[in-house]
Structure 1
Amino acid sequence: MLPALDHIDAWIFDLDNTLYPATCDLFGLIDQRMTDYVARTAGLDREAAYQLQKKLFREHGTTLSGLMTLHEVDPHHFLEDVHAIEMDVLAEDRRLIESLAALPGRKLIFTNGDAPYARRVLERIGLSETFEAIHDIHACAYQPKPSAHSYASMIESFGVDPTRALFADDMARNLKPAKDHGITTLWIDNGSEQVGELGAGDWIDYRTGDLGAWLAAIVKD
């Protein structure tokens, strides 16, 4: 274990494009269903719906949050619909599985998705028994990352000491609020950053393009 990480006793991970490679493009399947959902809800063609979808994401943190604000969409209905996808593109990564198992302390999930979807992903990639708990969009009261509220609710829900926690996410902008709370940050820099990129600022403590390789290296030390 790297000396600088000896104090970490809570390892908190984003889900999508963090615990599996962004090249799987699982979110691409969800993204298509989101566009269709926005088109039906707002009465738009797919091109206009796609533009609105991305606008909602930029301005509200998630498409769901924007739809709830502007169209009073039922979050449970939305999430059930957009997550109704096959997961054949996902596979187990033995190095990641074994490295996570070797980490000392708690392992936790902090996602803008919902827990049923997260559990399906974790089962598919061989991590269904790895994580103690999932803090999802419902637990965040639909205030998604990078909303400061979501981090405060996650910290309270998990009962973690921020100064003894590490948070890994593939979106750089989601790491700044974590750092503001005193959490050590790890950017999974794999090209999945979508919009609102802030780059690698001073709120990023560590950076890797491959979570499995990074964890394998630190658990060996």
Structure 2
Amino acid sequence: MLANIDTWVLDLDNTLYPAGSALTEQVTAGILGAISQVYGVDVVGARQIQTELIAQHGTSLRGMMTTRNVDPHDFLSFERRIDYSVLTPDPALAEALSALPGHRYVYTNGSAYHAEQALRQLGLTACFDGVFDILAGDLIPKPYPESFDAFLARFTVDPGRAAMFDDLPVNLEVPRARGMATILVDGADGTPYEEIGPRQWRAGDLAKFLHSLTAPEVSPSTM
């Protein structure tokens, strides 16, 4: 399984740490706060606008840039007010990532600053060879093909020898079309993983799934 993979590409938010974490809550609050300020609505209105922006433009930031000419740096400034100490080290994930052969990258719609802070708190900084953020993608986010192709070019990635991990199915469509193996990290239950299609998996537990890729096989004679 994934024996020919030498490049591992992982989303950050809700993938390298659980969707229900306190950091997720802070990120959501920061985005809704920015929307509320720009559009002059309350939190309920901001949630509705966010849903519409994501549906039409892929991310809240791209939507706000398009509809209200919002400066991306002003929008992303909320990340500087986040308390990243709510994350705790994940040694099991660090061990599983470090055992993977080849190169490992974070591909996020957030900023490099956000990724660096989160990775440091998780104890995963040394596990990755680089970060591709929203600014590196010229503010074009996943799931747009332009963003993905820019990532491939930046790190000279051969899609046929790469695997993409993300918590959103839509963000895996272009990678799959380019020939990458794809893994949906949904954390829905305790199931480590299951195959859901050709070169497609669903991982309920990312660390356990990654560990399964490098764990030595047990010979029948030793069982």
Q: Same fold by TM-score, threshold 0.5 exceeded? A: yes
* TM-aligned CA deviation for residue 11 of structure 1: 0.6
In the alignment, which of 128, 132, 135 is matched to residue 129 of structure 2? 132
What is the count of residue pairs matched by the alignment?
A: 210
- 1:12 aligns with 9
- 2:172 aligns with 175
Is the aligned partner of 1:64 residue 2:54? no
Alignment of 1:115-126 (within 5 A): 115-126=112-123
Compute the RMSD of aligned alpha carbons.
1.7
- 2:215 aligns with 220
CA distance in 2, matches of 1:83, 1:168: 26
8 Å CA contact retained: 1:176, 1:203: no
Deviations 1:100-150 (A, max 9, x none): 111110011111001011000000000112111111111111111111111
Alignment of 1:22-33 (within 5 A): 22-33=19-30
* TM-aligned CA deviation for residue 210 of structure 1: 0.7
Is the aligned partner of 1:211 residue 2:206? yes
Deviations 1:47-101 (A, max 9, x none): 2222112211121111000000011111111112245211233111211101111
CA distance in 2, matches of 1:202, 1:215: 18
Aligned with 1:103: secondary structure? coil
Q: For residue 113 of structure 2, what is the amino acid of its counterpart?
A: P
Structure 1 unaligned regions, length at least 5: 192-199
Q: For residue 4 of structure 2, what is the amino acid of its counterpart?
A: H
Deviations 1:146-187 (A, max 9, x none): 111111111011101000000101111111110001111111
Aligned with 1:206: secondary structure? strand
**1:107–1:49 CA distance, 2 compared to 1 (3 A):** same
8 Å CA contact retained: 1:162, 1:183: yes
8 Å CA contact retained: 2:79, 2:114: no
Q: For residue 147 of structure 1, what is the amino acid of its counterpart?
A: Y
Q: For residue 174 of structure 1, what is the amino acid of its counterpart?
A: N
Alignment of 1:1-221 (within 5 A): 4-82=1-79, 84-191=81-188, 202=197, 205-221=200-216
Q: For residue 24 of structure 2, what is the amino acid of its counterpart?
A: F
Higher relative contact order (CA 8 A, sep 6+): 1
Aligned with 2:81: secondary structure? coil
> Which aligned segments of 4 or more residues in structure 1 are displaced greater than 6 angstroms?
none
Give me the identity figure in percent. Answer: 37
Question: TM-score scaled by structure 1?
Answer: 0.89
CA distance in 1, matches of 2:56, 2:76: 19
Question: TM-score scaled by structure 2?
Answer: 0.89
CA distance in 1, matches of 2:109, 2:197: 24
CA distance in 2, matches of 1:164, 1:100: 17
